[in-house]
Amino acid sequence: MDPSRAQILAASSLLLFGTIAVILLTIPTVEIQETPAYMYGIVLDAGSSHTAMYTYRWPADKENGTGVVTQHSECHVKGGGISSYAGQQGAAGRSLEACLNQAMRDIPQSRHQLTPVYLGATAGMRLLNMTSPERSSQVLEEVTQTIRSFPFGFQGAAILSGKEEGAYGWVTVNYLLENFIKYGFIGQWLNPGRQTVGALDLGGASTQITFATQEEVEDEDDHMTLRLYGQDYSLYTHSYLCYGKAEVLRRLLAHLLTTQGSTGMVYHPCYPSDYNETVTLDQVFDSPCTQALQPTAYHPQASVSLQGQGHYQYCLGNVSQIFSFQECPFSQCSFDRVFQPNISGNFMAFSAFFFTHSFLEKNTGNSISTPDQLLQAALTVCSMTIEEMSKSFLDQRSFLKDYCASGVYMQVLMLRGYHFNAHSFPRVAFQKKIGDASVGWALGYMLAVSTLLPGESVVLRKALLPGAWLCLLLLLVLLIASVLIFMALNVCRRKNCNG
């Protein structure tokens, strides 16, 4: 091509690009909806032993029907769980006020009325509802009145089923581990293609096991399907009421009183040998979990003296009798006639699992990642006196008497109950938090209910139609190509490329 013709071609391309660009910029535009930066939500986790408030936030534009939720702040309510205030007029509601006031400070004032608040009560309220539906309803009504007095969008106070508690805990774990989605370099949410992680939760009144499985779940009550980020997940989940840490300790004590007698001195094999205390019978038997063991001649205020023995084998034998391993109406069971498919993959254990495991590790100075190490750690703790443990854990003195029983219970539950073994137990991670977020059911619940939240009013801005942007891009490519041809021909002319 003649160099002069190439120059004319390049100049013509540049002129054409400029002309069409001007035309495209003047044609009608489309209105793009631009949402505000963040929405907020509050979940009150009303457990059996205490209530925790978690504040979450997520971009107002949601991905695949599920909000991208992160923990913004948290607050732990002083005192016991809301079920402990049954019969105390207004006390359950008043206990929440300090944390709700903190939420007022944590969330921008302009968002207060747009922030939904949910209260979910777990096993403590499930037990109260079993024994006294009227008192349970009264507690829920009192916390409702308190929350409604704050300028948030109250969405309800409800008692979660054990199935929901387990499933939402599983969602939390896998969301925080980014097993559902990850953020791509071009600003898109992508499927990371990773396997999900099972969830093990140990509360005060119940414990939950939840994991994804491809096996048939023979008991439909333990099966749940969740859809998150455009994908379906088939879950096995079961909640064992009365198998939370506090209720197991109570059931163990009731068992000892039943076998040794509820008067005089009772020897507790799991208590340290230098520990003794006196308890009243209502402290032991005033629970749906122990009422079946209540003595025939029951005097609630009668007292009984407890003397620790610090004997691991006796402790193990008595804790094991709380479970029932004999009968199974399915092809396979965990315990208490409950079906459980084979466990597989990795798991995360949190709540009281984490605290018990952490104490055992710190007390023995050794890592606990195998069944033998768990057994040895429990054996070591059970042989220690209160004074020996207090040297390292003086701030936990009031809880030290229970760590032998808690360690033995975790051993029986995980190894004999859930069937973790030398291969699968090392794949359990014991954690309290992932990043800045606490592990529990509350975040999973917020992820689920955020799909139901109405969208905010949007701000509009002008923008080109997608087709117009495509035309501009093609013209830009043509212009660059013309310039490159022009430069190449100039080089050739200087070097007499044309001969």
Block residue for tokens 């969008």: 153
Q: What kind and span of H or E run contains 363?
A: helix 352-364
3-class secondary structure, 316? helix
Is 327 catalytic? The answer is: no
Tokens matching residue 287: 């629970």
Question: How far apart, in whole angstroms, are the C-alpha atoms of residue 219 and residue 214?
Answer: 14
Tokens matching residue 341: 């498919």
Exactly one of 134, 165, 215, 387 is catalytic; name it: 165
Q: Reduced to 3 DSSP states, what percent helix, strand and coil does the chain have, rounded to the nearest 5?
A: 45, 20, 35
Instruction: Provide DSSP, 79-137.
Output: SS-GGGGTTSTTHHHHTTHHHHHHHHHHS-GGGGGG-EEEEEE-HHHHHHHHH-HHHHH
Tell me the pairing of strands 198-202 and 51-59: unpaired
Question: How far apart, in whole angstroms, are the C-alpha atoms of residue 332 and residue 419?
Answer: 11
Q: What are phi and psi of 182, to 5 degrees?
A: -145, 160
Question: How far apart, in whole angstroms, are the C-alpha atoms of residue 211 and residue 346?
Answer: 9
By annotation, the residues acting in catalysis are 165
